[in-house]
A and B are shown apart, each in its own frame.
Chain A
Protein backbone atom coordinates (compact mmCIF):
# COMPACT_ATOMS: atom_id res chain seq x y z
CA UNK A 1 0.00 0.00 0.00
CA UNK A 2 1.21 3.48 -0.83
CA UNK A 3 1.61 6.31 1.62
CA UNK A 4 -1.63 6.66 3.59
CA UNK A 5 -1.83 10.38 2.99
CA UNK A 6 -1.81 10.29 -0.78
CA UNK A 7 -4.11 7.31 -1.30
CA UNK A 8 -7.76 8.18 -0.79
CA UNK A 9 -9.51 6.41 2.09
CA UNK A 10 -12.39 5.80 -0.29
CA UNK A 11 -12.31 6.06 -4.02
CA UNK A 12 -15.32 5.54 -6.24
CA UNK A 13 -14.55 5.24 -9.95
CA UNK A 14 -17.33 5.35 -12.51
CA UNK A 15 -19.74 3.42 -10.32
CA UNK A 16 -23.23 2.71 -11.57
CA UNK A 17 -26.21 0.66 -10.51
CA UNK A 18 -29.49 -0.25 -12.09
CA UNK A 19 -32.57 -1.84 -10.58
CA UNK A 20 -34.31 -3.52 -13.49
CA UNK A 21 -34.60 -0.94 -16.24
CA UNK A 22 -34.10 1.96 -13.88
CA UNK A 23 -30.61 3.36 -13.72
CA UNK A 24 -30.31 4.64 -10.15
CA UNK A 25 -26.64 5.58 -10.41
CA UNK A 26 -24.55 6.30 -13.44
CA UNK A 27 -20.80 6.75 -13.50
CA UNK A 28 -20.17 8.30 -10.12
CA UNK A 29 -16.67 9.41 -9.20
CA UNK A 30 -15.71 10.35 -5.69
CA UNK A 31 -12.57 10.57 -3.57
CA UNK A 32 -12.54 10.86 0.18
CA UNK A 33 -9.17 11.49 1.79
CA UNK A 34 -8.27 10.26 5.24
CA UNK A 35 -9.78 12.40 7.99
CA UNK A 36 -12.12 14.11 5.59
CA UNK A 37 -15.89 14.38 5.93
CA UNK A 38 -17.82 14.35 2.68
CA UNK A 39 -21.54 14.97 2.59
CA UNK A 40 -23.67 13.50 -0.18
CA UNK A 41 -26.66 15.72 -0.79
CA UNK A 42 -29.57 15.50 -3.15
CA UNK A 43 -33.32 15.07 -3.39
CA UNK A 44 -35.02 11.80 -2.47
CA UNK A 45 -34.46 9.13 -5.07
CA UNK A 46 -31.27 10.71 -6.35
CA UNK A 47 -29.25 7.57 -5.57
CA UNK A 48 -27.42 8.90 -2.50
CA UNK A 49 -28.12 5.90 -0.31
CA UNK A 50 -27.45 3.45 -3.12
CA UNK A 51 -24.05 5.05 -3.67
CA UNK A 52 -23.24 4.75 0.02
CA UNK A 53 -24.37 1.14 0.08
CA UNK A 54 -22.19 0.34 -2.92
CA UNK A 55 -19.12 1.40 -0.99
CA UNK A 56 -19.32 -1.53 1.45
CA UNK A 57 -20.90 -3.70 -1.20
CA UNK A 58 -24.27 -4.01 0.56
CA UNK A 59 -25.41 -3.13 -2.93
CA UNK A 60 -23.37 -4.57 -5.78
CA UNK A 61 -22.48 -1.89 -8.30
CA UNK A 62 -23.25 -2.99 -11.85
CA UNK A 63 -20.22 -1.19 -13.17
CA UNK A 64 -17.29 0.85 -11.89
CA UNK A 65 -14.88 0.22 -9.07
CA UNK A 66 -14.61 0.96 -5.37
CA UNK A 67 -11.30 1.23 -3.53
CA UNK A 68 -10.73 1.30 0.19
CA UNK A 69 -7.28 2.72 0.93
CA UNK A 70 -6.26 1.62 -2.51
CA UNK A 71 -7.61 -1.91 -2.20
CA UNK A 72 -10.25 -3.03 -4.64
CA UNK A 73 -13.54 -3.76 -2.86
CA UNK A 74 -15.77 -6.64 -3.96
CA UNK A 75 -13.34 -8.02 -6.49
CA UNK A 76 -10.02 -9.77 -6.05
CA UNK A 77 -7.30 -11.10 -8.31
CA UNK A 78 -7.44 -14.82 -8.90
CA UNK A 79 -4.10 -16.69 -9.11
CA UNK A 80 -4.37 -16.64 -12.91
CA UNK A 81 -4.60 -12.85 -12.89
CA UNK A 82 -8.29 -12.56 -13.72
CA UNK A 83 -10.73 -10.66 -11.48
CA UNK A 84 -13.22 -12.71 -9.51
CA UNK A 85 -15.96 -11.59 -7.13
CA UNK A 86 -15.07 -11.74 -3.45
CA UNK A 87 -16.58 -14.51 -1.38
CA UNK A 88 -18.94 -13.63 1.49
CA UNK A 89 -16.07 -14.15 3.90
CA UNK A 90 -13.79 -11.79 2.01
CA UNK A 91 -16.53 -9.19 1.74
CA UNK A 92 -17.15 -9.47 5.47
CA UNK A 93 -13.47 -8.76 6.09
CA UNK A 94 -13.71 -5.60 3.98
CA UNK A 95 -16.96 -4.48 5.62
CA UNK A 96 -15.37 -4.75 9.02
CA UNK A 97 -13.13 -1.86 8.03
CA UNK A 98 -16.09 0.32 7.02
CA UNK A 99 -18.55 1.25 9.72
CA UNK A 100 -22.11 2.01 8.74
CA UNK A 101 -24.95 3.75 10.54
CA UNK A 102 -28.46 3.37 9.15
CA UNK A 103 -31.56 5.51 8.94
CA UNK A 104 -33.57 3.03 10.99
CA UNK A 105 -30.77 2.35 13.51
CA UNK A 106 -31.02 -1.42 13.03
CA UNK A 107 -29.91 -2.17 16.55
CA UNK A 108 -30.38 -5.80 17.51
CA UNK A 109 -33.30 -5.73 19.93
CA UNK A 110 -32.36 -8.93 21.75
CA UNK A 111 -29.20 -7.33 23.06
CA UNK A 112 -28.62 -4.44 25.46
CA UNK A 113 -26.95 -1.23 24.33
CA UNK A 114 -23.61 -2.61 25.50
CA UNK A 115 -24.40 -6.00 23.97
CA UNK A 116 -24.96 -4.38 20.59
CA UNK A 117 -21.65 -2.57 20.79
CA UNK A 118 -19.48 -5.50 21.88
CA UNK A 119 -21.14 -8.12 19.66
CA UNK A 120 -19.02 -7.85 16.54
CA UNK A 121 -15.68 -6.89 18.10
CA UNK A 122 -15.97 -10.06 20.20
CA UNK A 123 -17.59 -12.50 17.79
CA UNK A 124 -16.35 -11.26 14.44
CA UNK A 125 -13.03 -9.62 15.22
CA UNK A 126 -12.37 -12.06 18.08
CA UNK A 127 -10.86 -9.43 20.32
CA UNK A 128 -10.63 -10.14 24.05
CA UNK A 129 -13.87 -9.47 25.83
CA UNK A 130 -12.52 -7.39 28.73
CA UNK A 131 -10.74 -5.08 26.31
CA UNK A 132 -13.84 -4.71 24.12
CA UNK A 133 -16.15 -4.06 27.07
CA UNK A 134 -13.84 -1.38 28.44
CA UNK A 135 -13.69 0.30 25.04
CA UNK A 136 -17.47 0.01 24.60
CA UNK A 137 -18.00 1.72 27.94
CA UNK A 138 -15.80 4.58 26.81
CA UNK A 139 -17.77 4.81 23.59
CA UNK A 140 -21.07 4.90 25.49
CA UNK A 141 -19.60 7.71 27.54
CA UNK A 142 -18.54 9.50 24.38
CA UNK A 143 -22.06 9.37 22.91
CA UNK A 144 -23.51 10.39 26.27
CA UNK A 145 -25.22 7.12 27.13
CA UNK A 146 -23.09 5.64 29.90
CA UNK A 147 -26.21 5.19 32.02
CA UNK A 148 -27.95 3.16 29.29
CA UNK A 149 -25.33 0.42 29.27
CA UNK A 150 -27.77 -2.35 30.20
CA UNK A 151 -30.87 -0.96 28.51
CA UNK A 152 -32.54 -2.80 25.65
CA UNK A 153 -33.29 -0.87 22.45
CA UNK A 154 -37.05 -1.05 23.12
CA UNK A 155 -36.51 1.33 26.03
CA UNK A 156 -34.37 3.85 24.16
CA UNK A 157 -35.53 6.89 22.22
CA UNK A 158 -34.72 7.14 18.52
CA UNK A 159 -31.88 9.54 19.20
CA UNK A 160 -30.44 7.25 21.86
CA UNK A 161 -30.73 4.23 19.57
CA UNK A 162 -28.90 6.07 16.86
CA UNK A 163 -26.13 7.10 19.22
CA UNK A 164 -25.75 3.46 20.30
CA UNK A 165 -25.60 2.53 16.61
CA UNK A 166 -22.78 5.03 16.11
CA UNK A 167 -20.93 3.60 19.11
CA UNK A 168 -21.49 0.12 17.69
CA UNK A 169 -19.91 1.12 14.40
CA UNK A 170 -16.99 2.84 16.18
CA UNK A 171 -16.29 -0.21 18.33
CA UNK A 172 -15.06 -1.98 15.19
CA UNK A 173 -12.35 0.69 14.88
CA UNK A 174 -13.33 1.35 11.29
CA UNK A 175 -11.19 3.20 8.78
CA UNK A 176 -14.23 4.93 7.35
CA UNK A 177 -17.73 5.60 8.66
CA UNK A 178 -20.78 5.69 6.40
CA UNK A 179 -23.89 7.52 7.59
CA UNK A 180 -27.08 6.81 5.68
CA UNK A 181 -29.65 9.52 6.47
CA UNK A 182 -29.17 8.81 10.13
CA UNK A 183 -31.42 11.62 11.37
CA UNK A 184 -34.22 11.22 8.84
CA UNK A 185 -36.46 9.06 10.98
CA UNK A 186 -35.89 10.98 14.22
CA UNK A 187 -38.24 13.39 15.90
CA UNK A 188 -36.95 16.90 15.19
CA UNK A 189 -35.91 17.52 18.79
CA UNK A 190 -33.74 14.39 18.78
CA UNK A 191 -31.81 15.28 15.64
CA UNK A 192 -29.44 17.64 17.42
CA UNK A 193 -28.02 15.09 19.84
CA UNK A 194 -27.08 12.75 17.00
CA UNK A 195 -25.60 15.49 14.84
CA UNK A 196 -23.54 16.70 17.80
CA UNK A 197 -21.96 13.26 18.12
CA UNK A 198 -21.25 13.17 14.39
CA UNK A 199 -19.77 16.66 14.44
CA UNK A 200 -17.46 15.64 17.28
CA UNK A 201 -16.33 12.60 15.28
CA UNK A 202 -15.62 14.74 12.24
CA UNK A 203 -13.63 17.14 14.40
CA UNK A 204 -11.68 14.17 15.79
CA UNK A 205 -10.52 13.40 12.27
CA UNK A 206 -12.74 10.41 11.52
CA UNK A 207 -13.10 9.74 7.80
CA UNK A 208 -16.81 10.08 7.13
CA UNK A 209 -19.19 9.83 4.23
CA UNK A 210 -22.53 11.27 5.18
CA UNK A 211 -25.77 11.07 3.22
CA UNK A 212 -27.96 13.72 4.76
CA UNK A 213 -30.70 16.30 4.39
CA UNK A 214 -29.23 18.35 7.22
CA UNK A 215 -27.75 21.31 5.37
CA UNK A 216 -26.47 22.98 8.52
CA UNK A 217 -24.55 19.87 9.43
CA UNK A 218 -23.11 19.56 5.93
CA UNK A 219 -22.02 23.15 5.99
CA UNK A 220 -20.37 22.91 9.38
CA UNK A 221 -18.82 19.45 9.26
CA UNK A 222 -18.10 18.62 5.64
CA UNK A 223 -15.01 19.63 3.77
CA UNK A 224 -16.47 18.52 0.49
CA UNK A 225 -19.97 18.12 -0.89
CA UNK A 226 -21.28 15.84 -3.58
CA UNK A 227 -24.65 16.86 -4.96
CA UNK A 228 -26.53 14.09 -6.76
CA UNK A 229 -29.68 14.24 -8.82
CA UNK A 230 -31.27 11.39 -10.76
CA UNK A 231 -28.24 9.20 -10.21
CA UNK A 232 -25.70 11.69 -11.55
CA UNK A 233 -23.23 14.01 -9.94
CA UNK A 234 -24.56 17.49 -10.53
CA UNK A 235 -21.89 19.20 -8.53
CA UNK A 236 -18.85 18.15 -6.58
CA UNK A 237 -17.25 21.01 -4.71
CA UNK A 238 -15.63 22.26 -1.56
CA UNK A 239 -18.34 22.89 1.01
CA UNK A 240 -17.86 26.62 1.22
CA UNK A 241 -17.98 26.96 -2.53
CA UNK A 242 -21.06 24.78 -2.91
CA UNK A 243 -23.09 26.70 -0.38
CA UNK A 244 -21.83 30.19 -1.22
CA UNK A 245 -21.56 29.91 -4.93
CA UNK A 246 -23.28 26.86 -6.43
CA UNK A 247 -22.24 26.28 -10.01
CA UNK A 248 -25.41 24.79 -11.41
CA UNK A 249 -28.99 25.91 -11.59
CA UNK A 250 -30.11 22.61 -10.08
CA UNK A 251 -27.91 23.10 -7.01
CA UNK A 252 -29.20 26.64 -6.59
CA UNK A 253 -32.80 25.42 -6.75
CA UNK A 254 -32.07 22.69 -4.21
CA UNK A 255 -30.34 25.02 -1.78
CA UNK A 256 -33.02 27.67 -2.08
CA UNK A 257 -35.64 25.19 -0.94
CA UNK A 258 -33.60 24.45 2.17
CA UNK A 259 -32.74 28.06 2.93
CA UNK A 260 -36.31 29.19 2.86
Chain B
Protein backbone atom coordinates (compact mmCIF):
# COMPACT_ATOMS: atom_id res chain seq x y z
CA UNK B 1 0.00 0.00 0.00
CA UNK B 2 1.21 3.43 -0.89
CA UNK B 3 0.79 5.85 2.01
CA UNK B 4 -0.15 9.34 0.80
CA UNK B 5 1.53 11.27 3.56
CA UNK B 6 2.16 14.12 1.14
CA UNK B 7 -1.56 14.86 1.19
CA UNK B 8 -1.56 14.89 4.98
CA UNK B 9 1.42 17.23 4.97
CA UNK B 10 -0.33 19.45 2.47
CA UNK B 11 -3.41 19.52 4.71
CA UNK B 12 -1.36 20.05 7.86
CA UNK B 13 -2.95 23.47 8.50
CA UNK B 14 -6.38 21.84 8.66
CA UNK B 15 -5.14 19.22 11.15
CA UNK B 16 -3.45 21.94 13.14
CA UNK B 17 -6.64 23.97 13.26
CA UNK B 18 -8.61 20.88 14.32
CA UNK B 19 -6.03 20.02 16.96
CA UNK B 20 -6.07 23.61 18.18
CA UNK B 21 -9.85 23.53 18.59
CA UNK B 22 -9.70 20.19 20.38
CA UNK B 23 -7.05 21.51 22.75
CA UNK B 24 -8.73 24.75 23.71
CA UNK B 25 -12.18 23.23 23.98
CA UNK B 26 -10.93 20.41 26.18
CA UNK B 27 -8.86 22.75 28.32
CA UNK B 28 -11.75 25.15 28.83
CA UNK B 29 -14.19 22.29 29.41
CA UNK B 30 -11.88 20.74 32.03
CA UNK B 31 -11.50 23.98 33.93
CA UNK B 32 -15.19 24.86 33.76
CA UNK B 33 -16.43 21.39 34.66
CA UNK B 34 -14.00 21.36 37.59
CA UNK B 35 -15.35 24.72 38.77
CA UNK B 36 -18.97 23.64 38.36
CA UNK B 37 -18.08 20.34 40.02
CA UNK B 38 -16.85 22.35 43.02
CA UNK B 39 -20.16 24.19 43.11
CA UNK B 40 -21.92 20.84 43.22
CA UNK B 41 -19.91 19.84 46.29
CA UNK B 42 -21.82 21.70 49.02
CA UNK B 43 -25.18 20.18 48.05
CA UNK B 44 -23.58 16.75 47.50
CA UNK B 45 -22.12 16.58 51.00
CA UNK B 46 -24.94 18.56 52.60
CA UNK B 47 -26.49 17.21 55.76
CA UNK B 48 -29.87 18.13 54.34
CA UNK B 49 -31.06 14.78 52.98
CA UNK B 50 -33.30 16.28 50.30
CA UNK B 51 -30.59 18.54 48.99
CA UNK B 52 -27.92 15.89 48.91
CA UNK B 53 -30.29 13.37 47.32
CA UNK B 54 -31.25 15.84 44.61
CA UNK B 55 -27.60 16.60 43.91
CA UNK B 56 -26.78 12.90 43.97
CA UNK B 57 -29.53 12.21 41.45
CA UNK B 58 -28.30 14.97 39.12
CA UNK B 59 -24.73 13.70 39.25
CA UNK B 60 -25.76 10.09 38.63
CA UNK B 61 -28.06 11.12 35.80
CA UNK B 62 -25.22 13.08 34.23
CA UNK B 63 -22.81 10.19 34.48
CA UNK B 64 -25.21 7.57 33.19
CA UNK B 65 -25.98 9.03 29.81
CA UNK B 66 -23.87 8.30 26.74
CA UNK B 67 -21.95 11.40 25.74
CA UNK B 68 -23.14 11.22 22.14
CA UNK B 69 -26.75 11.09 23.24
CA UNK B 70 -26.30 14.12 25.45
CA UNK B 71 -24.76 15.95 22.51
CA UNK B 72 -27.80 15.06 20.39
CA UNK B 73 -30.14 16.23 23.12
CA UNK B 74 -28.39 19.57 23.45
CA UNK B 75 -27.84 20.27 19.77
CA UNK B 76 -30.92 18.72 18.18
CA UNK B 77 -33.31 18.48 21.11
CA UNK B 78 -33.11 21.84 22.82
CA UNK B 79 -34.29 23.80 19.76
CA UNK B 80 -37.71 22.18 20.32
CA UNK B 81 -37.86 24.26 23.47
CA UNK B 82 -36.69 27.37 21.71
CA UNK B 83 -33.11 27.02 22.90
CA UNK B 84 -30.95 27.13 19.82
CA UNK B 85 -27.22 26.87 20.39
CA UNK B 86 -24.67 27.05 17.62
CA UNK B 87 -22.27 24.13 17.27
CA UNK B 88 -19.58 25.78 19.40
CA UNK B 89 -21.80 26.55 22.35
CA UNK B 90 -23.58 23.22 22.05
CA UNK B 91 -20.26 21.36 21.85
CA UNK B 92 -18.57 23.17 24.67
CA UNK B 93 -21.73 23.16 26.77
CA UNK B 94 -22.16 19.41 26.40
CA UNK B 95 -18.53 18.74 27.30
CA UNK B 96 -18.87 20.90 30.41
CA UNK B 97 -22.27 19.54 31.44
CA UNK B 98 -21.24 15.92 31.04
CA UNK B 99 -17.92 16.26 32.81
CA UNK B 100 -19.28 18.40 35.64
CA UNK B 101 -21.09 15.32 36.86
CA UNK B 102 -17.84 13.31 36.87
CA UNK B 103 -15.78 16.08 38.44
CA UNK B 104 -18.34 16.56 41.20
CA UNK B 105 -18.22 12.86 42.01
CA UNK B 106 -14.40 12.79 41.90
CA UNK B 107 -14.15 15.81 44.20
CA UNK B 108 -16.73 14.39 46.57
CA UNK B 109 -14.77 11.16 46.89
CA UNK B 110 -11.60 13.16 47.59
CA UNK B 111 -13.36 15.28 50.20
CA UNK B 112 -14.83 12.28 51.99
CA UNK B 113 -11.42 10.60 52.12
CA UNK B 114 -9.73 13.61 53.70
CA UNK B 115 -8.92 12.62 57.29
CA UNK B 116 -11.26 14.35 59.75
CA UNK B 117 -8.22 15.57 61.68
CA UNK B 118 -7.35 17.93 58.85
CA UNK B 119 -10.43 20.08 59.25
CA UNK B 120 -10.42 19.57 62.99
CA UNK B 121 -6.97 21.08 63.44
CA UNK B 122 -7.98 23.95 61.18
CA UNK B 123 -11.10 24.61 63.26
CA UNK B 124 -9.09 24.37 66.45
CA UNK B 125 -6.84 27.13 65.10
CA UNK B 126 -9.74 29.43 64.27
CA UNK B 127 -10.67 28.54 60.71
CA UNK B 128 -14.30 28.25 59.71
CA UNK B 129 -16.56 28.58 56.68
CA UNK B 130 -15.27 29.40 53.23
CA UNK B 131 -11.69 30.17 54.32
CA UNK B 132 -11.43 26.67 55.80
CA UNK B 133 -12.51 25.14 52.50
CA UNK B 134 -10.42 27.48 50.40
CA UNK B 135 -7.17 27.25 52.36
CA UNK B 136 -7.17 23.80 53.91
CA UNK B 137 -9.69 21.41 52.38
CA UNK B 138 -9.85 22.16 48.68
CA UNK B 139 -6.09 22.31 48.01
CA UNK B 140 -5.68 18.89 49.57
CA UNK B 141 -8.69 17.46 47.77
CA UNK B 142 -7.40 18.78 44.45
CA UNK B 143 -3.92 17.35 44.99
CA UNK B 144 -5.19 13.99 46.14
CA UNK B 145 -7.68 13.57 43.27
CA UNK B 146 -5.45 15.31 40.73
CA UNK B 147 -4.52 12.04 38.99
CA UNK B 148 -8.18 11.05 38.75
CA UNK B 149 -9.03 14.44 37.28
CA UNK B 150 -6.22 13.87 34.76
CA UNK B 151 -7.73 10.55 33.76
CA UNK B 152 -11.10 12.20 33.41
CA UNK B 153 -9.47 14.78 31.17
CA UNK B 154 -8.18 12.01 28.93
CA UNK B 155 -11.72 10.66 28.75
CA UNK B 156 -12.95 14.16 27.94
CA UNK B 157 -10.43 14.54 25.12
CA UNK B 158 -11.58 11.27 23.57
CA UNK B 159 -15.25 12.15 23.99
CA UNK B 160 -14.67 15.46 22.26
CA UNK B 161 -14.27 13.51 19.01
CA UNK B 162 -18.04 13.00 19.05
CA UNK B 163 -18.47 16.73 18.51
CA UNK B 164 -17.47 16.17 14.89
CA UNK B 165 -21.00 14.83 14.46
CA UNK B 166 -22.46 18.25 15.16
CA UNK B 167 -19.81 19.72 12.82
CA UNK B 168 -17.56 21.28 15.42
CA UNK B 169 -14.28 21.56 13.47
CA UNK B 170 -12.14 19.73 15.98
CA UNK B 171 -9.45 17.13 15.23
CA UNK B 172 -11.67 14.21 14.26
CA UNK B 173 -13.78 16.50 12.09
CA UNK B 174 -10.63 17.73 10.33
CA UNK B 175 -9.42 14.18 9.76
CA UNK B 176 -12.79 13.19 8.38
CA UNK B 177 -12.88 16.21 6.09
CA UNK B 178 -9.44 15.43 4.69
CA UNK B 179 -10.13 11.74 4.20
CA UNK B 180 -13.45 12.30 2.42
CA UNK B 181 -11.99 14.90 0.11
CA UNK B 182 -8.87 12.97 -0.88
CA UNK B 183 -10.05 9.39 -0.14
CA UNK B 184 -7.16 8.76 2.24
CA UNK B 185 -9.01 7.34 5.29
CA UNK B 186 -6.13 5.33 6.71
CA UNK B 187 -3.55 8.11 6.58
CA UNK B 188 -5.94 10.73 7.79
CA UNK B 189 -7.36 8.80 10.73
CA UNK B 190 -3.93 7.44 11.63
CA UNK B 191 -2.53 10.93 11.91
CA UNK B 192 -5.52 12.00 14.00
CA UNK B 193 -4.99 8.97 16.24
CA UNK B 194 -1.31 9.82 16.68
CA UNK B 195 -2.22 13.39 17.59
CA UNK B 196 -4.72 12.15 20.20
CA UNK B 197 -2.00 9.89 21.58
CA UNK B 198 0.40 12.79 21.89
CA UNK B 199 -2.26 14.91 23.53
CA UNK B 200 -3.36 12.24 25.98
CA UNK B 201 0.27 11.23 26.56
CA UNK B 202 0.99 14.76 27.68
CA UNK B 203 -1.88 14.63 30.14
CA UNK B 204 -0.79 11.18 31.26
CA UNK B 205 2.63 12.61 32.02
CA UNK B 206 1.01 15.23 34.24
CA UNK B 207 -1.04 12.50 35.90
CA UNK B 208 2.12 10.63 36.87
CA UNK B 209 3.60 13.76 38.40
CA UNK B 210 0.33 14.36 40.16
CA UNK B 211 0.45 10.85 41.59
CA UNK B 212 3.75 11.64 43.26
CA UNK B 213 2.30 14.81 44.78
CA UNK B 214 -0.79 12.93 45.93
CA UNK B 215 1.36 10.25 47.56
CA UNK B 216 3.27 12.93 49.48
CA UNK B 217 0.05 14.49 50.71
CA UNK B 218 -1.14 11.08 51.93
CA UNK B 219 2.17 10.48 53.67
CA UNK B 220 2.01 13.91 55.24
CA UNK B 221 -1.27 13.05 56.91
CA UNK B 222 0.90 11.20 59.43
Contacts and interface: CB of A to CB of B under 8 A. Distances in A.
B39 to A, nearest CB: 21
A74 interface: no
A89 B131 CA distance: 11
A154 B128 contact: no
A123 interface: yes
Interface string A102-136: 10111111100000000110011100000000000
Interface in A188-223: none
Given A102-B117, A110-B143, A152 B123 contact: no
B129 interface: yes
Interface string B116-128: 0110111111111
A126 to B, nearest CB: 11
A89 B129 contact: yes
Given A100-B121, A109-B219, A125 B143 contact: no
A98 B121 CA distance: 12
B47 to A, nearest CB: 14
Contacts of B125: 95-96, 99-100, 119-120, 124, 168-169, 172
Contacts of A99: 124-125
Contacts of B120: 58, 102, 106
B135 A95 contact: no
A108 B136 contact: yes
A120 B115 CA distance: 19
Contacts of B216: 109, 152, 154
A16 interface: no
Q: Is the interface of B mostly helix, strand, loop or mixed?
A: helix
Contact of A153 (B123, B143, B220): B220
Nearest to A94: B126
B128 A91 contact: yes
A127 B184 CA distance: 67
Interface residues of A, number: 35
Contacts of B222: 104-107, 153, 158, 161, 185
B32 to A, nearest CB: 24
Interface string B191-222: 00000000000000000000000001111111
B33 interface: no
Most buried by A among B121, B124, B126, B218: B124
B136 A88 contact: no
A98 B117 CA distance: 17
A56 to B, nearest CB: 6
Contact of B126 (A92, A104, A152): A92
B139 interface: yes
Residue among A93, A99, A102 with most chain B CB within 10 A: A102
Q: Report the interface size class on chain B.
A: 20 to 34
Interface string B172-192: 000000000000000000000
Most buried by A among B127, B139, B140: B127
A154 B217 contact: yes
Interface string A67-100: 0000000000000000000001101110110111
Interface in A1-60: 56, 58
B176 to A, nearest CB: 44
B217 to A, nearest CB: 4
A106 B118 contact: yes
Nearest to A92: B128
Nearest to B119: A106
A106 to B, nearest CB: 4
Contact of A120 (B118, B127, B143): B127
Contact of A110 (B117, B123, B131, B139): B139
Nearest to A169: B125
A125 B123 CA distance: 13
A119 B131 CA distance: 11
A154 B219 contact: yes
A179 to B, nearest CB: 12
Contacts of B220: 107-110, 152-154
B118 A56 contact: no
- A-B interface, 6 closest residue pairs, ranked by CB to CB distance from nearest: A109-B220, A153-B220, A106-B121, A96-B126, A106-B117, A154-B219
18 contacts: A88-B128, A95-B126, A100-B121, A102-B121, A106-B117, A107-B220, A109-B140, A109-B217, A119-B125, A120-B125, A124-B127, A124-B131, A153-B219, A153-B222, A154-B220, A161-B222, A172-B126, A185-B222
